[in-house]
Structure 1
């Protein structure tokens, strides 16, 4: 039996030609600080330099680690630019200087870094995008806890809300290659105890909080799974690029229902990870019985945050008024109209009193949305 081939459209061919002009992005990913990502970045820089390749250090944070500092020697480094903000003098990567210098390869550490508020770009990965657009190759690094879709999982594991995050598409679409830098929790804790990761004054606190065996083990597992999923996804893309059909979840379509409760973003991230693994579409739905002009400023801000996440995850975002329908009926109608096969709901859609007097929205949807799988995600704030 011959494989099924798919002819490329003129638009796809044009996109491929544009991609050829872009620089390539390689990302080293690790489970935690101290696994050796920055060390590996600088090792590769020396290897490239030895091969006669024009390599530049755009930005590397040594964190006063001697082994890392030693590796920067003999490498050309772009001077950081100074940024004024609220009377303070901050230093950021000079993206324009890198583009004007135009090396073959530039090393850019800490991909999830948030720039000073007065910088042209909000995040460092946006600076990297500009460098790639200029045709310069980039080698960078990031830890698994900075991935947007894993935010809630990482918080559940470590008890820490990671504020600096990158959209998943940076890893799975912008990056041409993702490499795992992996060490065991035992080695990481040993490095920490020896003062090779943080200053001595922070060692004891780190050992008893973030750098516990259970935390590091769970983060390591997340890293391994993420890279394995990335490999599967790239194999599928390669098949498509070669004109071969790749298995996709054509019969599946995921919808996440969000309300103003605290777990809305968690639901969106969970929905994206399910849709991503099934390689299918994601729809995010907010059902309301009020007109947009009557929303409070706080509710408007929440909706804007949901829209921002939807954009990051390439999802469709819908705000639907109930009119004369119940919330459950509205959700069912949107699901049927869009061919939804799986709905993701939060457990706490209503207060306990509302559930007693009006019935549970979750139970109502399960009763009327026949033929659709329902996923219930518990709210961690529930008692």
Structure 2
């Protein structure tokens, strides 16, 4: 008998079974109300209904938009339930009725909604989790500002504190995320035409949340967020299929520095490139433990600290590595962080140093064939 064989525990087997039986979650995501998430969800649902799929509406919030209501078509709607709160009867989604109806797929609008107090679950995403656990597929909608991790950023941009948020893991664990995008000016035109809110609310909306600068910033956040999700999905696919080549979906810049004064130029170059691509960037120093490596003096340490301070002021992440081979440490780090562009200065080593220790630039070029390397002249300009 193979001693390395590991028997699956009952708990592990049950967890695996639940995962296999769990429904699939698809989310239509946008950067603001009115971009067309619910419209697109209904349009797709009707096509699936015509193809014979058992698909129903569990909860729909049309906001009295006629173009949205016209997309309901022949879709069956599971009746809502009444929940009494402060002596007022209010309507909420009937999760138990959906589970009892057991369709193949259910549409559940507005994933970040907070249920009326007294409901079975506090948040709608919790209702969705319950439906998914019963093997029913769910299609839902979400605006990017409702992600918990983006709450502070959205408040800084718009001046609006979003009260209804959902954990990031909900969208991270979704089986499919569809971005519904529209140019901010086009969205403002829709707003002015009364397609998003009632006419009496349009002027106030345009001066507040729907200002062009706000919409541009939120749109960029939505596109970058989903691009990162795609990049992670591709990485998982590569690992599962044994693909070693790195597929670059979004840019990530790494700046290689040392205590040399010329490193400031590399940091500024990295900042410009990162700004151009609107991407994350990392400034990295490697302390070599090789026997012939030059020992760092107090002056070197102070200079390096100044470089890190500049990098952080310009928005970079800073990392200090230690290893025998500078080139191999840089290569390993670049691979781990999915770096797409490396910035490094020309070698300042003497011929003797190069003979004894080799050239970091040359080795880096050999080791990182799928990464773009910028070799910058070592002057102080």
Which TM-score band (shorter chain)? 0.5 to 0.7
| TM superposition shift of 1:243 | 6.8
Q: How many residues align?
A: 248
Q: Displacement of 1:41 after TM fit?
A: 0.8
Distance in 1, Cα, partners of 2:225 & 2:86 = 39
Aligned mates of 1:13, 1:89 — CA distance in 2: 44
Deviations 1:82-110 (A, max 9, x none): 00111111111000000000001100000
Deviations 1:32-67 (A, max 9, x none): 000000001100110110100001000011101001
Q: Which residue of 1 aligns with 2:156?
A: 156
Query: Which residues of 2 match residues 94-105 of structure 1 at below 5 A?
Result: 94-105=94-105
What is the alpha-carbon distance in structure 2 between the residues aligned to residue 53 and residue 147 of structure 1?
31
Is the 1:90–1:116 contact (alpha carbons within 8 Å) kept by the matching residues of 2?
A: yes
Tell whether 2:187 aligns with 1:195: no
* Secondary structure of 2:78's aligned partner: coil
What per-residue deviation string (whole Å, max 9, x for no partner) do you get for residues 313-361 of structure 1? xxxxxxxxxxxxxxxxxxxxxxxxxxxxxxxxxxxxxxxxxxxxxxxxx
Report if aligned partners of 1:56, 1:107 keep a CA contact under 8 Å in 2.
Answer: yes
1:178 aligns with 2:177: yes
Write out per-residue CA displacement over residues 244-270 of structure 1, whole angstroms, 9 at most, x where no aligned residue.
7999xxxxxxxxxxxxxxxxxxxxxxx
Structure 2 equivalent of residue 208 of structure 1: 207
Q: 1:132 to 1:245 in 2, by over 3 A?
A: farther
- TM-score, length-scaled by structure 1: 0.60
Kept after mapping to 1: 8 A contact 2:24/2:132: yes
Cα deviation for residue 156 of structure 1 reads 0.4
1:127 aligned counterpart, secondary structure: helix
Give 1:126 shift: 0.4
The residue aligned with 2:228 is 229
Matches within 5 A, 1:318-357: none
Contact 1:240 1:246 in 2 (8 A): no
SS of the equivalent of 1:82 reads strand
Moved over 6 A (4+): 11-14, 243-247
Give 1:32's aligned residue. Answer: 32
* 1:165 has 2:165 as partner: yes
Do 2:82 and 2:90's aligned partners in 1 also have CA atoms closer than 8 Å?
A: yes
Structure 1 unaligned runs (5+)?
Answer: 1-6, 248-276, 279-369, 373-383
Aligned-CA RMSD value: 2.9
Contact 1:24/1:132, CA 8 A, preserved across alignment: yes
- Counterpart CA distance in 2 for 1:14 and 1:129 is 17
Instruction: Check conservation: 2:46, 2:73, Cα contact below 8 A.
Output: no
1:67 correspondence with 2:45 = no
Partner in structure 2 of residue 43 of structure 1: 43
More moved, 47-56 vs 16-25: 16-25
In 1, Cα distance between the equivalents of 2:119 and 2:74?
29
Offset of residue 238 of structure 1: 2.9
Q: Which digits, 9 at most, give the CA deviation of each residue in 1:64-86, with x for residues without a partner? A: 10011111132100111000111
Aligned residue number for residue 84 of structure 1: 84
Structure 2 contact 157–214 (Cα < 8 Å) conserved: yes
Task: Report the equivalent of 1:139.
Answer: 139
Structure 2 unaligned residues grouped into runs of 5+: 247-279, 282-319, 323-381
Mark the CA change 1:246 to 1:107 in structure 2 (over 3 Å): closer, same or farther. farther
The structure number with the bigger radius of gyration is: 2
Instruction: Provide the C-alpha distance between the structure 2 equivalents of 1:76 and 1:156, rounded to a whole number of angstroms.
Output: 41
Aligned equivalents of 1:41 and 1:198: distance in 2?
20
Partners of 1:31 and 1:121 in 2: CA distance: 26
Deviations 1:20-39 (A, max 9, x none): 21100000100000000000
Judged with a 3 Å threshold, the aligned counterparts in structure 2 of structure 1 residues 120 and 210 are, in CA distance, closer, same or farther, namely same
Mapped to 2, the partners of 1:240 and 1:132 lie a distance apart of 27
Output one character per residue of 1:194-215: Cα deviation in whole Å (capped at 9) or x when no partner: 0000011100000111111100
Equivalent pair of 1:236/1:246 in contact (CA under 8 Å): no
Q: Is the 8 A contact 1:149 1:168 kept in 2?
A: yes
Matched residue SS, 2:71: helix
Q: Structure 2: how far apart are the matches of 1:155 and 1:20?
A: 39
